[in-house]
Amino acid sequence: MTCREAWFEQVLDHFSWRNDSRWQQRYYVCQETEQQLANPAATIFFYCGNEGNVEMYIRNTGLMFENAKSFSAMLIFAEHRYYGKSLPFGNDFSAASLRYLSHEQALADYAVLLDDFKRKHKMVRAKVIAFGGSYGGMLSAWFRMKYPHIVEGAVAASAPVLSFHSSDKGPWRSEKYWEIVTRDASGAAGSDERCVPLVRQSWPIIDSMGASESGRESLAALFRLCEPLASPGEVNDLKLFIAMAFDTMAMGNYPFPSDYLTGGIGKLPPWPVREACKLLSSCGDCKAENLLDSLCSAISLLYNASGDQACLHLPEDSSYAGIWDFQWCTEMLPQETYFKRDGKRDMFFPFSISSKEIDQHCKSKYGVIPRRGWIEQLYGGLEGIKRASNIIFSNGEFDPWAAGGVNVSEVKDAAARGVEAVWIEEGAHHLDLFFSHPADPPSVKKARQMEVACISKWLHWKEPKEPSKQRMGAVPISQDD
């Protein structure tokens, strides 16, 4: 299958008319043969691009590629506005320029892009299945919920669609996120039993050293930081930097080497949290300096995945979110740096932020204040999901985002509507979307089978009657209902 880059002149503001600006949206079309474009009954697998360069999703969404042929499907990967090369205002990410960044605008982009694509290629009857992982999975589910005439069904992998206040479930417990990160580092998830206690032991040591200038010098040296730690505030940045390493490795806690969570620069080893915990637990007497030195080795698995970093940089963006922080500051799309920690049920240090502080942050950074109830008003929380149709949600045992996902038990009554959920033991962040790998646990194979079965059902797919007469690579005509 080959993928080609394409561009679409997209509406800037779908929900207002005074500004009729357009911008160039990037997408990729992948197909086996050129014939699929001419095939009015082809299937389209559509990836709902999330907050990154769309090429990353092309490289990693094996589920779409591996099942394209059996559904005679062509693939479209759409890039989300303001990310990758789909930049309505170029590299201007000022608050004023971000005003058209919202998931509603992104979904409308996808609707308009698909509608135009299908008309242009004379395939208006082609059926579309939406795919997405993480925020892309939220988009995938929401795309089906709001545009059911455009997508037959949606695969929503590791999509934290319930990480919001909900009338039926009450306020979301964001603490659960960091508890899952912690669990990944525990014996229950196959990590060294000493790991969680050792991480916990490190915070008071860091705090104590961070209180003095000489202590901060030692800390900077122990953690091989490129810049000195100028203040106790920067020591807090270091602590978050460490916590975020465990967070990222928990998301990326896959059974095979992967560069998905390193942004493509170097690979994490298989089961990176277990590996990090092994490094941490090799701390000898595990007194102050040895402990922190081992902790540095542990987080360097991620931060020096490329192996060529002479020293580590603390990020300047303390939200770790880039412009995603705008999406948090508006619709409160989830960003774990804002989630609660108590240091008891999780292995980190206590953290909480009040609504007022969030408002102040968002107001001063972007001139906006979040509308907290909006996502629930728009989608109806769990109740809304149960009334939707043709969506399969997947969540992984090792993935902290499972904290905001749809549980199997929560939608068991909605199976007749095609709303299903699958739990992936030993699965990290949307493992099911990746290319198959010999190290895959049986759970993810089963999840993928369920997803494919759902797609078959949604498409009313029947195998072509005489497959022996099909040329290799030719496109059988799909059976319509």
Note the residues at the interface with a second copy (CB under 8 A). Answer: 11, 13-18, 20, 95-96, 99-100, 102, 104-105, 108, 111-112, 115, 119, 124, 146-150, 167, 329-330, 366-371, 373-374, 376-381, 383-384, 387-388
Instruction: Please pick, among 394, 429, 432, 478, the residue that the annotation labels catalytic.
Output: 429
149 catalytic? Reply is no
> Closest CB to a second copy among 344 and 371?
371
Written as one letter, the residue type at 306 is S
For residue 67, the minimal CB distance to a second copy (Å) is 24
Instruction: Please pick, among 184, 192, 325, 399, the residue that the annotation labels catalytic.
Output: 399
Enter the tokens of residue 445. 């194979």
For residue 251, the minimal CB distance to a second copy (Å) is 27
For residue 338, the minimal CB distance to a second copy (Å) is 17
Burial of 47 (0-12, 13-18, 19+ CB in 10 A): buried
Other residues' Cβ atoms within 10 Å of the Cβ of residue 13: 15
For residue 61, the minimal CB distance to a second copy (Å) is 25
Residues 374-397: b if buried by 16+ CB within 10 A, e if exposed: ebbeebbbbebbbebbbbbbbbbb
Q: What is the DSSP string of 313-366?
A: PPPS-TTS-TTHHHHHHHH----GGGS-B-SSSSSS--B---HHHHHHHHHHHH
Please name the helix (run of DSSP H) or strand (run of DSSP E) that holds residue 392, with its range, or none. Answer: strand 391-396
Written as one letter, the residue type at 249 is M
13 catalytic? Reply is no
> Closest CB to a second copy among 107 and 229?
107
> Closest CB to a second copy among 37 and 369?
369
Kindly calculate the radius of gyration of the chain based on its CA atoms and give it in whole angstroms.
Answer: 23
Other residues' Cβ atoms within 10 Å of the Cβ of residue 135: 24
For residue 136, the minimal CB distance to a second copy (Å) is 21
> Closest CB to a second copy among 118 and 278?
118
- Cβ contacts of 91 within 8 Å, gap of 6 or more: none
Strands 43-48 and 22-31: unpaired
> Closest CB to a second copy among 298 and 385?
385
429 catalytic? Reply is yes
For residue 379, the minimal CB distance to a second copy (Å) is 7
CA distance 192 to 179: 17
CA distance 95 to 102: 13
Instruction: Please pick, among 72, 86, 134, 191, the residue that the annotation labels catalytic.
Output: 134
> Closest CB to a second copy among 105 and 174?
105
Please name the helix (run of DSSP H) or strand (run of DSSP E) that holds residue 175, with its range, or none. Answer: helix 175-184
Which positions are catalytic? 134, 399, 429
